[in-house]
Amino acid sequence: MKLNRIGSSRRASGDLPYRTLRARALESIGLGGLAAGVLDISDAIVLTLMNGGAPSRMLQGIASGLLGRAAYEGGLATAALGLGIHFFIATSAATVYFLASRRLPLLLQKPLIGGVIFGLMWWALMYQIVLPITFGRTYTIPALPQLLNQLGIHILGVGLPIAFIAARSARR
């Protein structure tokens, strides 16, 4: 599919106009969730290590959203559960983007804009709704470096990979 200078589509040997392009579910959700999950957990592991923590304990912290304090006594099994939960959430993000792109094809046409906005929206969902409900405490704005990292990884590591993978799958 090629675009002319003003952004309208041209038909070429069976290509569909952008307004009819649809991302492929398995590719968008599977690869998008995997990419976002790997990038996001890598950031969390690096930060954990920089702060003198253990990645297994950080993963148990994720599992504690489901198991409570018992997650910290479960060893590698609850760390693995935390990793699984993390990838479930990342795949959920890719699913939400995929489903939104069915209604808003602009998300596939402009993945840079869509990815940035989606990353910020996913950050807001996680930090303003999911984590406060899960852990029973309100979110307080952290120090600027930590806030910038949270926003940055949700834009660069979650929103943009999911958006670009969905857009790529729609053009295949």
Within 10 angstroms of residue 155's Cβ, the number of other Cβ atoms is: 18
- Tokens representing 96? 């939400």
Q: Which residue would you say has higher pLDDT here, 131 or 39?
A: 39
pLDDT at 59: 98
Query: What was the pLDDT predicted at 137?
Result: 85
pTM of the model: 0.85
Q: What is the DSSP string of 85-152?
A: HHHHHHHHHHHHHHHHHHH-THHHH-HHHHHHHHHHHHHHHIIIIIHHHHHTS------HHHHHHHHH
pLDDT score for 158 = 98
Res 108 pLDDT > 50:
yes
- How confident is the prediction for the chain on average, in pLDDT? 89
* Mean pLDDT, residues 29-44: 98
Provide mean pLDDT across the span 23-49: 96
pLDDT of res. 39: 98
pLDDT at 121: 98
